[in-house]
Every structure is written in structure tokens, then in C-alpha cells.
Amino acid sequence: MLREQKGFAIGVVSTVPFTHATPASFVSHNVHRNNYYHIADEIIRTIKPEVVIGGGHPLWNSRFMSATLYNDVKSGLFPEYVFVERVSGQDGSQRLKNAALEAKNKGKKLFGLFGGSGGHFEPPIPQDNPGSPNIQRATVENPLLKDSTIAALEVLSLDRDGFFLMVEQGDIDWANHANNYKWMIGTVWDLEEAVKEAIAFVNRPGDNIDWDNTILIVTSDHANSYMRLTEDKLLGKGDLPVQIGSDYNWSYPDGEVTYRTNNHTNELTMLYSIGSKSNKLFKKYEGDWYPCTKIIDNTHIFNALADATDIPYSSLLKVVLKKPSFCSKMSFSMN
């Protein structure tokens, strides 16, 4: 809608395959989320977002993109794109930075294809170093999420009509499915660094991008696995619990961490936003479907973004409820 009605540039970035559910849902349409080859074809051959950066490189995992599409991209069949990929022994962050600069200078789009044997970027690795947190890259061949974020922003921001970018640290979800606390810590750090980079980008002087015309939203599409920290065994900075197991069968014998499932859960998630009167945008929907709370529905994020960009829309989703005439103090405490 932003591209068709406003001329916005659009982009998606993910640490998991670019054909996976979250990035794919923003720039493709398909009857099933696992139709990866068809989704990849639609994204690159038809929709052609201005930026696509993600995992799913078929030379590391052939599940997420066909060899035919990969060969077509490699051969230059899509000259509108500057294509950059994972190369053994080479720094993916630097390669992506160079490609973004080339795309800017030539007025082209950017397609960054990375990933490992699982399809995703190998996640950053936290060290068990109580008091002195330390995170190391698993490999230099894949960029960090902050590198992908800034590369995307550099290219998209050239469009004077505006841009929309979706950035996903998809491994946070994968780590919690695996009940893998160490993996999760590395990926949450990766997201935090990317958010810092995005904020710094908007704060840069000397351009036409500032918080009066930009909104940044940080949220999650769902919770996962009912992970809890034990109150009387809280971990300090840089401290990791004893973690035993492998794959999707991890245990924590000292009890600092507990999980209840390997699946998505019905817990509420948090939403943070900054810029372009974002507080007012979301406050409009607080309690609209959940009276006497500050809860907004996940579909209200779309509404708020449409409001912010003056996109006309009509929602087919309606909630029929009788709102109370007043709210008790106890109800108001639900934040």
C-alpha cells in the first residue's frame, strides 16, 4: 500500500531465510508459508523490493531458494539489483557495506543473500563471563543484524517519497523453540545492537530524516516457550546458566532458567516506539478491544502505521463488546 499509494521504497531484512514467514508476509502472497521456492520467485521476480537481505543461501541450505533462481540472480538476469552473497573466508559485513554503497551510487536495489547450514545466520555467541558481558560472532561470513539494518537504511533512504523497512531477528524465536538460553541471549543482543544502529541513523545530522518524519517500532509477533528466570537465582551481567543437552532437548540443572514448552505461547508481548508522534498513534488504540487495560491488538499496529502515513484503509475486523461505564483501579493496573 505504501509503495502503490505513496511511492515508498520497501525492504525486508531477516537473520532467517528471506522466504521465511515474517519477511515473506510483507513482500509476497502465498497459500502456504512453506512454499519457499514460489515465495522466493515472487519476491525477486515480481515484487522486487528495493532491499532484500536475509538467509536461505542455497549453497548452504537448498530448502529456501531454488538453484534456478539463484543462478538467474548470479548471472545478472536482474540488473536492477546489486547482488551480494556469503563467500567462504570473506567478511560478510564488509561485503554488504560495499554492496550498499554501490547500490546507492548507481541508484540500484540491493539483494543480500547469506545464511548457513540451518538457513539462518549463525547466531552471535555469548561468553559465560560474570561481570563482563562478552558476545562473539559465530562467523564473519554472515553480517550482524546491525550491519544488515544500516545497509538497508542507506539504500532505502535515497527515496524522497519515503520508505518502509521490516527488520527481523528471527533467531530469537528459533532459540526459544529450542529452549536454548545461550542462543537466545546472543540473538537478543543482536537485535539490541540493530535498534541502536537504527536510532543512530535517524539521529545523523545533515539529511532530511529525523524523528518528526520517522517512526521506529520494536515489538514481537508472539511470545515463545514460557521462559522464566528463578527469582532467588537471578543471573548477573555476563553470567550464563549451566546448560546441558543439544538440539531441542536442553535442561538447566541449577534451576536458574525454566521453560514450559517448545512452542508459541499466549503471553502478552511488549511494544516500544519512538518518533513521529508515536505515543499518540498507539494510545488511540489502548483498551479499544480490551477495556480497562492498555492492551492493543496486534492488528492495531497496522492501523497505527496507516494513520501515521495517511493511508486510507477499512478494517474487516470488528470486536463486539460492551464497554464498562468505568474501570476499577485494579483493572487500570494491567499494563
User: In this predicted model, what pLDDT tens digit does every residue of 151-172 receive, in sequence order?
Assistant: 999 999 999 999 999 999 999 9
Phi/psi of residue 55, nearest 5 degrees: -85, -165
* The total number of structural domains that make up the chain: 1
What's residue 124's pLDDT? 97
Q: What percent of the chain has pLDDT over 70?
A: 98
Q: What is the CATH number of the domain that holds 202?
A: 3.40.720.10
Q: Tens digit of pLDDT for each residue in 105-138? A: 999 999 999 999 999 999 999 999 999 999 999 9
46 lies in some domain: yes
Beta bridge partners of 126: 135
271 lies in some domain: no
134: containing domain: 2-209+227-260
What's residue 319's pLDDT? 81
Residue ranges of E strands in the chain: 9-17, 51-55, 81-85, 109-113, 125-126, 135-136, 163-168, 216-219, 223-224, 228-229, 244-246, 249-251, 257-258, 264-265, 271-274
Mean pLDDT confidence for 4-10: 97
What's residue 327's pLDDT? 86
143 lies in some domain: yes
22 lies in some domain: yes
Cα(269)–Cα(224) distance, integer angstroms:
10
Q: Tens digit of pLDDT for each residue in 171-213? A: 999 999 999 999 999 999 999 999 999 999 999 999 999 999 9
Q: Band of the pLDDT at 329, cuts 50, 70, 90? A: low
What's residue 317's pLDDT? 80
What's residue 239's pLDDT? 96
Q: Tens digit of pLDDT for each residue in 227-247? A: 999 999 999 999 999 999 998
201 lies in some domain: yes
Q: Is the pLDDT of residue 43 over 90?
A: yes
3-state secondary structure of 224: strand
8 lies in some domain: yes
7 lies in some domain: yes
- What is the DSSP annotation of 1-48? -HHHHH--EEEEEEEEETTSHHHHHHH---S-TT-HHHHHHIIIIII-
Q: Is the pLDDT of residue 332 over 70?
A: no
332 lies in some domain: no
